[in-house]
Chain A
Amino acid sequence: MGTDSSIVRFEDVSLHFGDTPALDHVSFEMGAGETRVVFGAAGSGKTMLLKVAVGLQKPDSGRVFLFGQDITHLSEERLFDLRARVGILFQEGALFDSLTIADNVAYPLENQRILQTVGAGSEQRSIEERVVETLRFVELEQTLDKFPSELSGGMRRRVGIARAVVTQPELELYDSPTAGLDPITAHTIISLILKERDTRNTATIIVTHRYQDGQLMANFRYNPNSGEIEAAPRGSEETVDTKFLIMQAGRLVFEGTEPEFLACTDEYVRKFARPGAS
């Protein structure tokens, strides 16, 4: 197992709500710049995995490490510092609907300023510039003064991504970024995720139920010259170390690279290996 250079590490983590296990003896590890794709049926604990990873939920047993620090019992105030280095996209975006888009995206930056944490490059340029820049990244710079209720679901997701990446964190967590979107918008979202990952070599965990998302994450990369994603040649060094994690009823039933994933004979795992699976 890795040492303190890991970004996220779960050691035998369990979490129960009443009698139902949300996480059941889950252990895995992820290093810098790596990608993890998490599949699983509804209620299998995928969202819980992300929440426990940043300490939004405390496990009942086991240990969780974030950026090499044991956060299992860390207090909220101390977690804030670590969370400043993580970008999270929640399901549905979770934008603050009482704030404008600009304020939403600026929120993490304002917060860093209030908490006086030093983010990479956050003090070099004014917050407004960064907000505009980030919205341009997700191609929504014209929505600065709108409210989340005025945007479509896909646009809200994109703003969510903008908010998640505006602080240029080392770790990105995406919770079902393409759920409920049409294939074209979904493709756009994944493209943005890849763009973010490949531009700054961010560690990425993406929870999804679509095989295509995993496939793209594993095999495609962002080309800054063309502004599009394209298939990375197999076996090249530019391929990001991508592993698939399959969750079933809180247990991690499979962890492996894409070839291993496709070769798995487990019936449950194979469900996610088929395109169009949802």
Chain B
Amino acid sequence: MPSAAKTRWSQLKVGILAAIALVILAFLVITMSGTNPLFRETVDAVVYFDDSFAMTVGATPVRLNGILIGKVSNVELSGSNELNRTVKVTLSLNADSLALIPVDSTAGLAQQNLLGARYINIKRGKSAQTIQPGGEIKTEATTEIQDMLDQGKTTLSALQAILTRVEKLVIEIEDGKGTIGKFLRDETLYNNLVGAADEMKKLVVNFNNPNSTIGHLINDDDLYQDVRGTMGKVDQLVDGLNAGEGTLGKLLKDDSLHEELRGTLADLHETLRLVNRGDGTIGKLMTTDTLHRRLEDTMTRLDNVLDKVNTGEGTVGQLLNNPALYESMDNTMREVQGFMKDFRANPKKFLTIQLKLF
């Protein structure tokens, strides 16, 4: 057994270590229970969505205008067939936060930032009443439906009012009251109509009768004759045109314009012929030999020069044909190469010479 003194010292050290660790642990637990409402009283509220948006039971936070007040405690199908009430989400909220949520608050899904986790955000409403434990918080989607239904109600009642009046109208019509009613019911109009039809018949009979205006119009010869007369005059006009009378006729018939045109064309022809013959500058340009001959001469001389070059006459010729120059150059190149080799082999020789010079 270890001695008592040693044991006491060991106990002391162990105690200090344990104390430090437990203090840290206690601190951690206390700070955590400040932010984690594990032991706070919670109450439930319900929200309905059409989709659960993959919310995590027990983890997805619930915030009131951004402030954390609870978390999602249950997600399940509500079994309801109503629109947007397919999923029932139960929220577990801090008891004291319930009094801060008016009944007209709306709940919706939100994200902290682009990568952040989703949470349910409740936007605070303005009503004086706050929701009760277990009560439902409306979502934005359910708000619209409600409005629609409310609107629908007003529309329906309006529609109803209209229908009532239409009914009244129909009754009146049936009773023969009012214009349409009379129209539908009254016999007088019918009689009138029949009378009018009779008149129409009479009118048609008149048409056929040559004594009435229209009858005349249909049966009379004179108009026809007049029209013929006009047609004859038009004929005459056309003949005149043909005979070359009048401006238009002349334009159509006169020869002189035609002659002039012909004359111009002939001139043009002449000019071209002159040109071909070599008269005039252009003609000369086109037909004379001299220029052509001079070009030829120049070409011949150029030829001669080239021949001389080829045969090695003249400087250029020498330059191109003389092998001696080429050999000379060749030798020079070889010497240079040798020199380079030499230089590379003993650079000192050359460099020292340089030095000596200096």
Contact = CB atoms under 8 A, between A and B. Distances in A.
Answer yes or no: are A and B bound together in one complex: yes
A13 B140 CA distance: 91
Interface string B110-127: 000000000000000000
A197 B1 CA distance: 30
A220 to B, nearest CB: 38
Contacts of A103: 1
A103 B1 CA distance: 7
A262 interface: no
Contacts of B1: 99, 103, 110
A145 to B, nearest CB: 10
Nearest to A110: B1
Contacts of A110: 1
A183 B1 CA distance: 35
Interface of A is mostly: helix
A113 to B, nearest CB: 11
Interface string A94-133: 0000010001000000100000000000000000000000
A148 to B, nearest CB: 15
Interface string B1-14: 10000000000000
Interface residues of A, number: 3
A205 B1 CA distance: 30
A114 to B, nearest CB: 10
B4 to A, nearest CB: 12
A21 to B, nearest CB: 40
B3 to A, nearest CB: 8
A98 to B, nearest CB: 8
A110 B1 CA distance: 9
Contacts of A99: 1
A128 B1 CA distance: 14
A95 to B, nearest CB: 14
Interface string A33-68: 000000000000000000000000000000000000
A99 B1 CA distance: 7
A242 to B, nearest CB: 38
A103 B7 CA distance: 15
A91 to B, nearest CB: 25
Nearest to A100: B3
Nearest to A96: B1
Nearest to A98: B2
A124 B334 CA distance: 127
A99 B3 CA distance: 9
A110 B3 CA distance: 13
Interface in B1-34: 1
A231 B1 CA distance: 42
B114 to A, nearest CB: 63
A99 B6 CA distance: 12
Interface in B300-350: none
A166 to B, nearest CB: 15
Interface in A157-185: none
A51 B1 CA distance: 25
Interface string A71-93: 00000000000000000000000
Nearest to A106: B1
A103 B2 CA distance: 9
A89 to B, nearest CB: 22
Interface in A15-35: none
Nearest to A145: B3
B5 to A, nearest CB: 13
A107 to B, nearest CB: 8
Nearest to A99: B1
B338 to A, nearest CB: 92
A74 B257 CA distance: 158
Interface in B249-293: none
A32 to B, nearest CB: 33
A99 B2 CA distance: 7
Nearest to A114: B1
A211 to B, nearest CB: 41
A58 to B, nearest CB: 29
B53 to A, nearest CB: 65
A272 B230 CA distance: 178
B7 to A, nearest CB: 13
A204 B1 CA distance: 29
A103 B6 CA distance: 14
A65 to B, nearest CB: 33
B10 to A, nearest CB: 14
B348 to A, nearest CB: 81
3 contacts: A99-B1, A103-B1, A110-B1
Interface of A: 99, 103, 110
Q: Which 3 pairs of residues, A with B, have the shortest CB-CB distance?
A: A103-B1, A110-B1, A99-B1
